Every structure is written in structure tokens, then in C-alpha cells.
Amino acid sequence: MPDVVCVTLSGEKRLFARERLVLRPAAYALILHRGRVLLLTMRHTGKYHPPGGGVHPAESIEETLQREVREEAGIEIQVERFLRLEELFFYYDPSDTAYHGLHLFYLCHPLTLDLLADLRVDDGSAEKPRWVDVQGLRPEQFQAHGATIVELCRAASESDARTLTPAPDGGPPAARDLAGLTVRDARPDDAAAIVAILDPIIATGAYTAIDTPFTVEEERSYIEHLPPRAIFHMAVLGGEQRIVGFQSMEPFATYTHAFDHVGVPGTFVDLAYRRQGIARRLFTATFDAARRKGYRKLFTYVRADNPAALATYLSQGFRIVGRAAAQVKIGGQYIDEIVIERIL
């Protein structure tokens, strides 16, 4: 297979054999306060980069961001929302390591503001935490992803950090009042509402490996014949009793008991209610039910071109364990899938 071009710290390009690359998921915090963003400086190049770093095994994205910001800047943060995923093939000269980086950017809010003194920064590659005026930033000042970081910071600053993620129609998702949201088990009479959520998602061709719509009758039959250890939860808005999302999980395999401890989850949220925390509520209920039913591990795939879904799973404690090349074919195009798992 062809070699991969990686960027060095100095911006040069070098070729590396694919088998030498290390997959590295990492999370970075864009922390904005009164028109300024918190940035650090790379010790080796003097370029800016936001606080953040590699996700440790069994560590959620939120835990990663809070730990990294605490180590590099000394402040506490509240993680607001996922913004974007960027890939980077890079070579880190000090450790002689080539990486395939999956870099997830999150909008964050500072809970404290007093930054660490320079000598107390606990990081081998970053130093000098500073609040920097957003409007004066230029892409070339950054070690990597400069254009993306400048774009996201300016958008957040201008919109008062209300939202940065567009809805499927290109506009921002409307904020929803989800105070009355509850999660309950699925019932056969939920079939029509499930199909009304699932089929439009399938029709986009952008989010799932499923490419064939379901009928109400098929969905009703599926619910009526769920296996004993299956989990199927509905997210329901209290006032309207409107179903706005659902999550199902079944055993990894039934032909052997060797996989009885492994469940495969699937998560779907109404396109009009995405980025509202509904998936998080579903995960909480599913994790609890999975433990009661004797599951020890969750395992699934996420399309590589669906970074928002990947970020959601990673924020719930899943970790990336591999990448399946050309795993699905949608609309005549082959698409990779990211393999993820979580130990309960």
C-alpha cells in the first residue's frame, strides 16, 4: 500500500509506511471569554494551539478536556458542545512517532479564569497559557488546523456561543425546551413514531449504514419479537409526548455464548432535535439497563464521515479500537467505519 504523507513540527512533509502510523484520538478545548480564547504556545515552534491532548483509555471526552485544561492552564471548564472533527497525519519529531490524528474540537466555558504561572504548566510540549483576542488571530499563527480554529472561534464569539453546528438544511438547530424529557421502554404502538424518525435519517444517506427504509408494520413486528436481552429505549418529550429519539441494543451474536457479555448499540435522534443532549439521556438509561441484563461491554461501528456521531460516542466513554476500510457502500460510494467499544 502507498506511504502516507505526514507533516512535521516545522511544516515539512515526510513519507511514512502506513503500518508505522499510530491512531491517536485527541480532544481540544476552544475556551472563550469576553472575545478572547485560551491558547498555549508550542515549546518547539512558538506556534499557538488550544489546550487539549490525547484521550486516555476508559476516559470520556469531557474528562480528557477537563484534565488537559487543568494540566496546561490551571482552570476549570464546562464542556458545552462538539464543534468539529479534523484529521491530521503528522510526525512528532521529539518522540520519532508518526500519527493519524483524529482531533475533536469542543466549545467550552471557563468556570475559573486565573491561569497557571508559566513555570507550573505540566506539559512537555506546551507552555505560556494566555487569553488571546479572537479578532486578531490568523491561521498561520497556529501549529495545525489554523483556519478551522480561527473560523470556529470567530463564529462562537460573534454568536455569543449559542451554536456552531448547522442543521441538515444548512441553518442552526433551534434550541428546544427538553426539561420534560423522559426515557422509557419501547412499545409496539411506537412503531409509527420510530419510522418517522428513522426513515428521514436513512434518506439523507449521511448518517447511518442502513440504506433501506422501514415500514410501520416491520418496525411493530421487530418490537413485538425483541429477544429477552434486547434493550430498546424511547426519548419522549413530556408535554407533547413526542418521541424525539431512540436507542436499541442487542447481543453481539446468538450462535455462541462466548459473546453474551457484548452488546451492540444503535442511536437515532430526530433530525430536528439533534445536538440537544437527547443521546446523552438515552445512553444513561441504556448503560443502566445493560448492566442489569449482564452486559459487560458495548461494541459498534460509526461511519467515518459522521464525526458528530463519533464525538457523541466518545463523550460517553467509548474508545476507538480500529478503522474498517470500505466497510459500507452508500450511494455508490465506499465509506470507512470507525470501530469503537466501551467497557461497562
282-334 pLDDT tens trace: 999 999 999 999 999 999 999 988 888 888 898 888 998 999 999 999 989 99
Q: List 330's β-bridge partners, or say none.
A: 333
CA dihedral 270, 276, 281, 282 (to 10 degrees): 20
Instruction: Find residue 79's DSSP bridge partners.
Output: 108
Alpha helices in the chain (DSSP H): 61-73, 146-158, 191-204, 216-224, 278-292, 307-315
Name the band, by pLDDT with cuts 50, 70 and 90, for residue 270.
very high
Q: What is the pLDDT of residues 51-84, one digit of tens each?
A: 999 999 888 888 999 999 999 999 888 888 888 9
What does the pLDDT read at residue 201?
A: 92
pLDDT in tens, 232-250: 999 998 766 899 999 999 9
Percentage of the chain modeled with pLDDT above 70: 93
Q: Percentage of the chain with pLDDT > 90?
A: 67
Backbone angles phi, psi at 325, to 5 degrees: -75, 140
- The answer on pLDDT for 179 being more than 70 is no
Average pLDDT of the chain is 89
Q: Using the predicted structure, report yes or no on whether residue 163 has a pLDDT greater than 70.
A: no
C-beta atoms surrounding 172 within 10 Å: 14
Q: What is the mean pLDDT of the segment spanning 105-114? A: 87
Closest CA to 112 of 158, 150, 66, 81: 66
Angle at 16 between CA 92 and CA 300, to 5 degrees: 85
Question: What pLDDT was estimated at residue 170?
Answer: 41
Q: Which residue has the cell 450462535?
A: 255
Domains identified in the chain and CATH numbers: 4-158 (3.90.79.10), 181-343 (3.40.630.30)
Say whether pLDDT at 336 is over 70. Answer: yes
C-alpha cell of residue 149: 480554529
pLDDT confidence of residue 211: 92
pLDDT of residue 125: 84
Spatial distance between the Cα atoms of 271 and 176, rounded to a whole number of angstroms: 13
Number of Cα atoms under 13 Å in the Cβ half of residue 302: 24
Amino acid at 310: L
At 172 the pLDDT is 38
pLDDT-derived band at 273 (thresholds 50, 70, 90) equals: confident
Between CA 83 and CA 81 the distance in angstroms is: 6
28-53 core/surface letters (b: 16 or more CB in 10 A; e: else): bbbbbeeebbbbbbbeeeebbbbbbb
Instruction: Please give the pLDDT value at position 239.
Output: 67
Across the range 156-166, mean pLDDT stands at 54
Terminal-residue alpha carbon distance, the chain: 37
Q: Which of 112-126, 211-225, 235-249 has the lowest mean pLDDT?
A: 112-126
Residues near 226 by beta carbon (within 8 Å), at least 6 away in sequence: 186, 232
Side chain identity at residue 166, one-letter code? P
pLDDT tens digit sequence for 183-197: 999 999 999 999 999
Check pLDDT > 50 for residue 131.
yes
Residue 99: is its pLDDT beyond 80? yes
Q: At what angle do helices 307-315 and 278-292 cross, to 10 degrees?
A: 50
